[in-house]
Amino acid sequence: MNAPSTLFDKLWTQHLVRDLGGGIGLLAIDRIFLHERTGSIALKSLRQSGRGVADPARVFCTMDHIVDTLPGRGDDTLMPSGKAFIVETREAAHEAGIRVFDVRDPDQGIVHVISPELGIVLPGTTVVCPDSHTCTQGAMGALAWGIGSTEAEHALATGTLRVSRPKTMRVTFDGRLPAGVGAKDLSLALIGRHGAVGGNGHAIEYAGPAVRDLEIEARLTLCNMATEFSAMTGMIAPDDKTFEYLDGRRYAPRGATWEAAVAHWRTLVSDDGAHFDRELTIAADELAPMVTWGTSPQHAARISGHVPGQAASGTSPEAYERALAYMGLEAGQSMQSLAIGAAFIGSCTNSRISDLRRAAAVLRGRRVAPGVRAICVPGSMAVKRQAESEGLDRVFVEAGFEWRESGCSMCFYAGGESFGSRERVVSSTNRNFESRQGPQTRTHIASPETVAASAIAGHLADVREFLP
């Protein structure tokens, strides 16, 4: 009898082409996604080496990172070299026979939003992309991780990759989530408690009642932040919610093939008694809405709390003082005392229809505070259409938000657009690094509903005070 296996063990074994020794395996790759910031690099190098794409049907490309999100956009971007990235990627992808979700394609969007949305990522698949947040797609029960352009070239040419086998970790969220607390808060609580390198060298499986209660889009948010925990990937075992979400999606199986697929997918769970190299447990019912105070996702605190002292910050004295100086803060300051100049809802973390619905519920009938610039960027054109069909766009616009086309936008101002120097921003993105959203911009990351509440208040605000 075989020993009990984790979900990761099963996916590794099912995709292992050859054991290369030393903890390294040659894995078969089922899906490769490219975007315009890195796609042209890999495809150009592949062409120059005289090699082609082994299986173009398994490769997809989207314009998301550099593409402009202003209404009426085309190939031109605020980034001087942005148009070249778009044009070169488009030409190279078409030449290779790769499906491109182009600037004006109705299915265009952020890679980690459209992949599950279109049923490209499926339970049990291996998925790679030259983007660190590819781990998002592990929420579908896939083994998904970010790679470099050179690795992308190898995967394109051979359909395989050399991978160092990580250790395994299970993070269990016990109990039920309180009102106003969601997947983003779970992630920030985990990283805040165990540090930004707490998952280093591990593939994480999220489990427990609070995770099972999450809808698919919230699970995508949770897995998205695994890379901020320094993990190779984050995964959630597929269940009936997963199958219901995928049923009928464009690239999902159909008919008898669908039934056979679901039967297999039901086996993709960690067996009772399976060994994990590390286990963490967090009481979800004790959590509160979270927000970051410093320059790393691990610098997280309850929105109702204060900037911690150095001893409680989990950082060295030098890193702590640098973070405080950069953010313009002092130990003991109330988080809700911090006035903001801008609010951003978007990114591969929180730009799906459920994210926009929750934010709109807070904004409905209210106005953004004077002096606050507020922007909402849907994660895909499909999300944008759905939001507009529900009238959510009117809620955002009437509240004082800019309503945009889909793309990464000011997650990291790759398209040339940014917030102001030293401006304090509350953002639904995944990173609050120095100058992430503009020159010396001070970013506080939080859930979309916390962003909405803060935009209304004009300072970091507790969304629970805005709930019915």
Residue 460 has φ and ψ, to the nearest 5°, of -55, 130
| Token couple for 233 | 């990937």
pTM of the complete model:
0.98
Residue for token digits 């990173």?
Answer: 431
Q: 8-165+240-262 has which fold?
A: Aconitase; domain 3 (3.30.499)
Task: State the pLDDT at residue 184.
Answer: 98
The string of pLDDT tens digits covering residues 325-352 is: 999 999 999 999 999 999 999 999 999 9
The string of pLDDT tens digits covering residues 216-262 is: 999 999 999 999 999 999 999 999 999 999 999 999 999 999 999 99
Residue 449 has φ and ψ, to the nearest 5°, of -70, -30
Mean pLDDT of 27-42: 93
As a whole number of angstroms, the distance between CA 296 and CA 112 comes to 22
CB-based burial label for 376 (10 Å; 0-12, 13-18, 19+): buried
Mean pLDDT of 395-423: 93
The string of pLDDT tens digits covering residues 121-164 is: 999 999 999 999 999 999 999 999 999 999 999 999 999 999 99
CATH of domain 167-237+269-286: 3.40.1060.10
The average confidence (pLDDT) of the chain is: 97
As a whole number of angstroms, the distance between CA 327 and CA 320 comes to 11
CB-based burial label for 119 (10 Å; 0-12, 13-18, 19+): middle
Helix axes 216-224, 183-194, angle to 10 degrees: 20
For residue 255, what are the CA distances in angstroms to 2, 119, 251, 258, 261? 32, 15, 13, 5, 10
In the chain, which segments carry CATH 3.30.499.10? 8-165+240-262, 291-466
Asked if the model's pLDDT at residue 42 lies above 80, the reply is yes
User: For residue 403, what are the contacts with CB-CB under 8 A and spacing of at least 6?
Assistant: 376, 393, 396, 397
As a whole number of angstroms, the distance between CA 341 and CA 440 comes to 14
Mean pLDDT of 78-94: 93
As a whole number of angstroms, the distance between CA 187 and CA 41 comes to 32
Asked if the model's pLDDT at residue 73 lies above 90, the reply is yes
The CATH H-level superfamily of 291-466 is Aconitase, domain 3 (3.30.499.10)
Q: Which one, of 372, 366, 338, 328, lies nearest residue 459 by Cα? A: 338
Give percent of the chain with pLDDT exceeding 90.
Answer: 94
As a whole number of angstroms, the distance between CA 47 and CA 127 comes to 22
As a whole number of angstroms, the distance between CA 229 and CA 132 comes to 12
In the chain, which segments carry CATH 3.40.1060.10? 167-237+269-286
Asked if the model's pLDDT at residue 1 lies above 70, the reply is no
